[in-house]
Amino acid sequence: MAVYTDINEQDLTAFLAQYDAGELLSYKGIAEGVENSNFLLHTSKAPLILTLYEKRVEKSDLPFFLGLMHHLSEGGLNCPLPLPRKDGALLGELSGRPAALISFLEGMWLRKPEAQHCREVGAALARMHVAGEGFELTRPNALSLEGWQTLWVKSQDRADEVEPGLEAEIGAELDFLAAHWPKNLPSGVIHADLFPDNVFFLGDRLSGLIDFYFACNDLLVYDLSICLNSWCFEKDGAYNITKGKAMIEGYLSVRPLSGDEIEALPILCRGSALRFFLTRLYDWLMTPEGALVVKKDPLEYLKKLRFHRAVTNASEYGLIS
């Protein structure tokens, strides 16, 4: 979460009057993440999250995101829900941006997840994949092969500012993945951004998943590769196979993987590492000074990408056949 667009109390009070949400008591910006502007509101009825959708989010995608939260909740997944306005609409406008009020989910994200937490995340991811079945709206993954190329075109001329030789290395990686990306694997709705700060825990119990604004239709096991990248590496860049094994076992406890999905896991991990490297690289180079946002180091994911290049078998991630 982040803040790009500021709001004032008068406009916010008028916005809240369109909802049965009580009176505004206080509000503050939330400075984590890089996508939308988010605020924590305290009202006379309940705490809420206010999200202003920034330019990277297409307004036409918002019915998918908001509808998906309802569908997943009805399927038994614990996630935030958008609040309807008094006229029944889920979407309003504030400070010139599309805006929504979202229910507040109790819990905190873990700064130092352990293997037991990774197991719960794996199971929750699989439950989301199962709960997503039957959702009628679809959205292609805008940050897959074609989207990577688009981001790279905008960043490649300055890539060597981050690390010498990066332009040639990433260009070759994109060519390789385009030639070897798997097809015809099981697909459905994926979260596509299930990092630790998008999973809440109460103590050691997982309390819910948040931030579905990258959700889309894609290969289900690609979502697992994103989680292996985001949960199972240590701060020194080393892959923790104990966490990886727990993550995969948690997922398999809910949804089995086919032989083809298992075989494809190394290249999918390679692709998801590249995906987050490219978005971080773009934001690192392009985010304007003064934005209340925490920029994330792209080199973290470059190290992960280089690790995955050396992996030849999914057993190296902790998958025991």
CATH of the domain at 98: 3.30.200.20
Q: Which of 52, 77, 103 is the last residue of a domain?
A: 103
- Average pLDDT value for residue range 97-111: 94
* Residue 70 resides in a domain: yes
Instruction: Find out whether 3 and 37 touch, Cβ atoms under 8 Å.
Output: yes
> 312 and 244 in one domain?
yes
Residues 87 and 201 in one domain: no
pLDDT-derived band at 1, boundaries 50, 70, 90? very low
**What region, left, alpha or beta, does residue 95 occupy, with left being phi > 0 and alpha being psi -120 to 50 degrees?**
left
- Asked if residue 223 belongs to a domain, the reply is yes
- CATH number for the domain harbouring residue 179: 3.90.1200.10
Quote the CA–CA distance of 3 and 52 in Å, as a whole number.
Answer: 9
pLDDT number for residue 214: 94
Q: Which of 30-44, 204-218, 243-257 has the least mean pLDDT?
A: 30-44
Total domains, the chain: 2
pLDDT at 219 over 90: yes
Q: In the 8-state DSSP scheme, what is residue 207? A: E
273, 163: one domain: yes
Asked whether residue 109 is assigned to any structural domain, the reply reads: no
Q: Domain limits at 31?
A: 9-103
Residue 2 in any domain: the answer is no
Q: Which distant-in-sequence residues (6+ apart) come within 8 Å of 254 by Cβ?
A: 123, 126, 127, 130
Q: Are residues 94 and 119 in the same domain?
A: no
Considering the domain boundaries, does residue 108 fall inside one? Answer: no
Mean pLDDT of 161-175: 96
Q: How confident is the model at residue 37 (pLDDT cuts 50, 70, 90)?
A: confident
- Of 42, 71, 103, at which residue does a domain stop? 103
Predicted confidence (pLDDT) at residue 126 exceeds the cutoff of 70: yes
- Residue 229 CB partners (closer than 8 Å, separation 6+): 269, 272, 273, 276, 301, 304
Q: Which of 46, 74, 103 is the last residue of a domain?
A: 103
Residues 99 and 121 both lie in one domain: no
4 domain-assigned: no
253 and 130 in a common domain: yes
